[in-house]
Amino acid sequence: MHFSWQRLIAIIKKEFIQLKRDRGTLGMIIMLPIIQLLLFGYAINTDPKDLPTAVISENNTFLTRSIITGLQNSEYFKITHHISSDKQGDELLRQGQVFFVVSIPDNFTQNVIRGEKPEILLQADATDPTAISSAVSSLNGIINKVIQENMKGNIAYLKNKPSSFSIIVHKLYNPEGFTRYNIIPGLIGLVLILTGVMMTALAITRERERGTMENLLSMPVKPLEIMIGKIMPFVFIGLFQVGIVLLMAYFLFSIPILGNIVLLFLCSLVFIVCNLAIGFLISTIAKNQTQALQMSVFVILPSIVMTGFMFPFQGMPIWAQTIAKCIPLTYFLRIARGIILKGAEFIDIFPNLWPLGVIVVFLTIITMKAYKNTLD
Amino acid sequence: MTEIAIDVKHLTKKFGTRTVVNNIDIQVPKGKIYGFLGPNGSGKTTTIRMLCGLLTPTSGEGKCLGLDIMKDALLIRQKVGYMTQKFSFWDDLTVRENLEFTAQIYEMDNAAELVDETLIKLGLKKRENQLVGTLSGGWKQRLALSACILHKPEILLLDEPTAGVDPKARREFWDELGRLSDEGMTILVSTHYMDEAERCHELVYIAYGNLMVKGSVNEVINQTHLKTLEVSGLSLPLLQKQLEQDPEIAAMSLFGGMLRICGNDEQKLVDKLQNVKKQYSLTWRKSNTYLEDAFIYYLKKAQEN
């Protein structure tokens, strides 16, 4: 028996009709993104450490080494990249690989000694203001310490001039440090998970509980037709929800959408399919609707807590970060923030897009294996 | 020789360690109404589900219309109509939507026409836009049957289709089955009603997963070799209680003012009644053995095994 478009379309149509008559679900689809968006206007402060930092320094002297060590010792900064150009720095920031780029100008040490008061530039990724605020406010202390420790001998006179050099902080992407800048792109992901996973988790269990699955299975339908047919309506619904959140973000919270909106929708599509695959898998395993909902919570909760949606990713211990790397929202969050707040392009988000693709393929294979086209 | 539509051998289904269907052989001739009888939980539904590929048999082999029930489940589903015991069409779709969905799933070329035709035939044209969940039981049953035969299946599997339906609707339902069978459709129907069993060309009786007997109504009755007496008298329920454990009595049941007693040896039955004749003021006469007597007999036999 061949795959049949007619059967597939019949199933999709049926799902849509049933959805249309299900007031509760319909309300959830529209109200959920709106309520979430209003609820998450505020965020929670935390104090993450070891934020990845890149350093541009041609000037390698006792003073610059001391400054870099000072940054490291503060525990807020973790030097992960030594680079040579601003362009590289921009790239690392945009891709989210580092939170900070520290640029120490040429002839820095000589200029300090000559009393020219040179400036160090610290560029910070401010999309997640809570993540960087502690680090930024620790800077003054670090500078003072460096001066106290290094201005000895014949340059000891510099010690008493407090501003022998300074650090200029340049907050990128979210200069005012609005928390909602950070939360709202993530909210797209959360809304998609909540509706996507839960709705599809109920898709098969509901038919099974009502006894209609027996009827459906006694008809000549292929597993793939049922799977796609059940999932397809929620793909459209997901894209619709992305639209709602973006519209509200733009008009209600005045969040600039810097990147390509088509790219954002395409990435959302991958993420939606990912969620639906999870939901469908739950639906296949769960015995009834209650169980399906319980299982959904197990997926949704870590997504909220562990992916960097509410708390900075870097604030978590390594083991938690490792677990979080298996959660799709982790990647989508970075993609959505990158595109909306940083104007990231395909090349920038690709490192976070391919893991999503891998997860989708993996889940699809498992679901196909787990799904039974009988009542066994 | 008559053609065989369903031919299964040694069909067995286990759920875990529980054997629900045990080594059953069934041959259903083409174009016949084949009755499927047995007490609740005897494995009727499980067997029917295996025949249409909804459950995979644990062991055994079989063919439905020449297709292997183990391998060709999807192909079998195209040629079989299955009416579930519990109404299983979509309550939140309208009558028309349910029929349309069914027609499209079976890839009928003339889906729209077919649906209209069915609606008119059903007498549901006026209510085509009513949600199925709001239909009465009788209408649901008629809709389910129409939907099951929409794709003109060669075999119709009906799992207690008339449970809870009034006698008039039941009679109409069976008249329709008679017509379909006459047109060449093979029908396998499970039921608890004796009058329905008697309308079948052939019967099979299963109990606790085991096939007890098969054949025409008369064959099923004759194979018991039972003799039956109709006893009248006083306090018959007491008498029934008294004789309950008697090994000579194969089946017993109260029928209005009479007690029907069946056993293999008529003389022994008479002897027993003689013993208590005065006590209960008994009179009796010989009677035919009914299908129900036979089934009670087989059930008892199954319980003894």
Query: Which residue type occupies A54?
Result: A
Query: Which residue type occupies A124?
Result: A
Contact B89/A221, CB-based, under 8 Å?
no
pLDDT computed for residue A179 by the predictor: 65
B169/B130 same-domain check: yes
d(C-alpha A109, C-alpha A147), whole Å: 12
pLDDT computed for residue A163 by the predictor: 65
pLDDT computed for residue A67 by the predictor: 84
Contact B93/A18, CB-based, under 8 Å?
yes
Of B54, B56, B80, the CB nearest to A217: B54
Put simply, whether A2 touches B (Cβ < 8 Å) is: no
Chosen for mutation from A13, A207, A214, A375 (greatest number of chain B CBs closer than 10 Å) is: A214
C-alpha distance from B45 to closest chain A C-alpha (Å):
12
C-alpha distance from A7 to closest chain B C-alpha (Å):
5
Token representation of residue A53: 């930092």
Banded model confidence at residue A42, pLDDT cuts 50, 70, 90? very low
B53/B141 same-domain check: yes
Contact A215/B49, CB-based, under 8 Å?
no
Q: For chain A, how many residues are written?
A: 376
In a domain, B246, yes or no: yes
In a domain, B102, yes or no: yes
pLDDT computed for residue A33 by the predictor: 80
Short-list A228, A231, A210, CA closest to A288: A210
Of B56, B92, B104, the CB nearest to A7: B104
Query: What pLDDT digit, counting tens, does each position of A171-203 carry?
Result: 777 666 666 677 788 888 999 998 899 989 998
C-beta separation of B83 from B130 below 8 A: no
Token representation of residue B133: 């969940």
B162/B214 same-domain check: yes
C-beta separation of A37 from A248 below 8 A: yes
Q: Phi-psi region for residue A264, left (φ > 0), alpha (ψ -120 to 50) or beta?
A: alpha
In a domain, B295, yes or no: no
C-beta separation of A296 from A353 below 8 A: no
Put simply, whether A24 touches B (Cβ < 8 Å) is: no
Domain edges within chain A: 5-39+179-370, 51-172
Task: Give the residue from chain A lying closest to B86, CA to CA.
Answer: A211
* Percentage with pLDDT > 70 across chain B: 100
Which has more confidence, B124 or B95? B95
Domain end, chosen from B221, B237, B269, is at B221
C-alpha distance from B86 to closest chain A C-alpha (Å):
7
Put simply, whether A1 touches B (Cβ < 8 Å) is: yes
Chosen for mutation from B98, B101, B159 (greatest number of chain A CBs closer than 10 Å) is: B101
B181/B229 same-domain check: no
pLDDT computed for residue B180 by the predictor: 93
Go through B241-274 and write b for each residue having 16 or more CB atoms within 10 A of its CB, e for each that does not. eebeeeeebbbbeeeeebbbbbbeeeeebbebbe
Put simply, whether A374 touches B (Cβ < 8 Å) is: yes
> Which DSSP letter does residue A157 get?
G
C-beta separation of A197 from A279 below 8 A: yes
B202/B76 same-domain check: yes
pLDDT computed for residue A376 by the predictor: 79
Q: For chain B, how many residues are written?
A: 305
Sort A50 into a burial class: Cβ within 10 Å, 0-12 / 13-18 / 19+: middle
Model ipTM value: 0.86
Distances (CA, A) of B265 to A11, B261, B292: 61, 11, 19
Of A7, A14, A212, the CB nearest to B88: A212
Is the pLDDT confidence value at A217 over 80? yes
Q: What are the backbone angles phi and psi of residue A82, rounded to the nearest 5°? A: -110, 115
Task: Give the residue from chain A lying closest to B156, CA to CA.
Answer: A218
Is the pLDDT confidence value at A80 over 80? yes
C-beta separation of B51 from B188 below 8 A: yes
C-alpha distance from B298 to closest chain A C-alpha (Å):
30
Contact B80/A218, CB-based, under 8 Å?
yes
Residues of B in contact with A6 (CB under 8 A): 104, 107
Note the Cα B30 to chain centre separation in Å.
17
In a domain, B119, yes or no: yes
State which residues form the domain around B263. 225-288
> Which DSSP letter does residue A105 get?
P
Go through B184-199 and write b for each residue having 16 or more CB atoms within 10 A of its CB, e for each that does not. ebbbbbbbebeebbeb
Token representation of residue A256: 């600039």
Pick the CATH number of A51-172 from 1.10.10.10, 3.40.47.10, 1.10.540.10, 3.40.1710.10: 3.40.1710.10
C-alpha distance from A77 to closest chain B C-alpha (Å):
59
Lowest mean pLDDT among A63-77, B86-100, B233-247, B271-285: A63-77
Residues of B in contact with A9 (CB under 8 A): 104
Contact A14/B78, CB-based, under 8 Å?
no
Of A214, A221, A373, the CB nearest to B88: A214
Which has more confidence, A304 or A165? A304
Place of tokens 């002297």: A61
Contact B74/A222, CB-based, under 8 Å?
yes
Interface of A with B in 211-250 (CB under 8 A): 211-212, 214-215, 217-222
Q: Phi-psi region for residue B268, left (φ > 0), alpha (ψ -120 to 50) or beta?
A: alpha
Put simply, whether A5 touches B (Cβ < 8 Å) is: no
Contact B78/A1, CB-based, under 8 Å?
yes
- DSSP characters for chain B? ---EEEEEEEEEEEETTEEEEEEEEEEEETT-EEEEE--TTSSHHHHHHHHTTSS--SEEEEEETTEETTT-HHHHHHHEEEE-SS--S-TTSBHHHHHHHHHHHTT-TTHHHHHHHHHHHHT-GGGTTSBGGGS-HHHHHHHHHHHHTTT--SEEEEESTTTT--HHHHHHHHHHHHHHHHTT-EEEEE-S-HHHHHTSSEEEEEETTEEEEEE-HHHHHHTTT-EEEEEE-S-HHHHHHHHTT-TTEEEEEEETTEEEEEES-HHHHHHHHHHHHHHHT-EEEEEPPPHHHHHHHHHHHHHH-
Short-list B64, B86, B67, B91, CA closest to B158: B86
B14/B69 same-domain check: yes
Domain end, chosen from B177, B197, B221, is at B221
Of A210, A220, A376, the CB nearest to B77: A220
pLDDT computed for residue A73 by the predictor: 84
Query: What pLDDT digit, counting tens, does each position of A344-360 carry?
Result: 899 999 999 999 999 99
Question: If interface means Cβ-Cβ distance under 8 Å, which residues of chain B face chain A?
Answer: 49, 52-56, 73-75, 77-78, 80, 82, 84, 86-93, 97, 100-102, 104-107, 131
Contact A376/B86, CB-based, under 8 Å?
no
Residues of B in contact with A220 (CB under 8 A): 74-75, 77-78, 105-106
B199/B266 same-domain check: no
CATH number at residue B242: 3.30.70.260
Contact A218/B89, CB-based, under 8 Å?
no
Place of tokens 């392009």: A345
B11/B71 same-domain check: yes
Token representation of residue B125: 């044209």
Is the pLDDT confidence value at B53 over 90? no
Residues of B in contact with A14 (CB under 8 A): 90, 93, 97, 101
d(C-alpha B99, C-alpha B78), whole Å: 16
Banded model confidence at residue B49, pLDDT cuts 50, 70, 90? very high
**Mean pLDDT confidence for A153-180:** 68
B217/B77 same-domain check: yes
C-alpha distance from B135 to closest chain A C-alpha (Å):
16
d(C-alpha A139, C-alpha A128), whole Å: 18
In a domain, B115, yes or no: yes
Mean pLDDT of chain A: 85
d(C-alpha A118, C-alpha A106), whole Å: 10
Residues of A in contact with B77 (CB under 8 A): 218-220
Go through A182-212 and write b for each residue having 16 or more CB atoms within 10 A of its CB, e for each that does not. bbbbbbbbbbbbbbbbbbbbbbbbbbbebeb
pLDDT computed for residue B200 by the predictor: 94
Put simply, whether A318 touches B (Cβ < 8 Å) is: no
Contact A13/B73, CB-based, under 8 Å?
no
Question: Helix-strand-coil percent breakdown of chain A, rounded to 5?
Answer: 65, 10, 25
Banded model confidence at residue A110, pLDDT cuts 50, 70, 90? confident
Q: Indicate if the alpha-carbon torsion angle B196, B197, B198, B202 is positive or negative.
A: positive
Q: Indicate if the alpha-carbon torsion angle A31, A37, A42, A47 is positive or negative.
A: positive
| Strand ranges, E, within chain A | 51-57, 77-83, 100-104, 119-125, 166-172
Of A11, A13, A219, the CB nearest to B106: A219
Is the pLDDT confidence value at A43 over 80? no
Residues of B in contact with A211 (CB under 8 A): 84, 86-88
B128/B229 same-domain check: no
Short-list A309, A311, A304, CA closest to A49: A311
Residues of A in contact with B149 (CB under 8 A): none
Which has more confidence, A51 or B154? B154
> Which DSSP letter does residue A99 get?
S
Q: Is A343 helix (H, G, I), strand (E, B) or coil?
A: coil
Is the pLDDT confidence value at A161 over 80? no
d(C-alpha B297, C-alpha A302), whole Å: 62
Q: What are the backbone angles phi and psi of residue A79, rounded to the nearest 5°? A: -75, 115
Put simply, whether A375 touches B (Cβ < 8 Å) is: yes
Task: Give the residue from chain A lying closest to B93, CA to CA.
Answer: A18
In a domain, B128, yes or no: yes
Give the Cβ contact number of residue B215 at 10 Å: 14
Contact B54/A218, CB-based, under 8 Å?
yes
C-beta separation of A315 from A49 below 8 A: yes
CATH number at residue B93: 3.40.50.300
**Mean pLDDT confidence for B177-190:** 94
d(C-alpha A160, C-alpha A139), whole Å: 19
**A342: part of which helix (H) or strand (E)?**
helix A328-342
- How many domains would you assign to chain B? 2
B175/B234 same-domain check: no
B272/B153 same-domain check: no
**Interchain CB contacts (distance < 8 Å): A and B:** 78
pLDDT computed for residue B24 by the predictor: 94
Lowest mean pLDDT among A43-47, A370-374, B157-161: A43-47
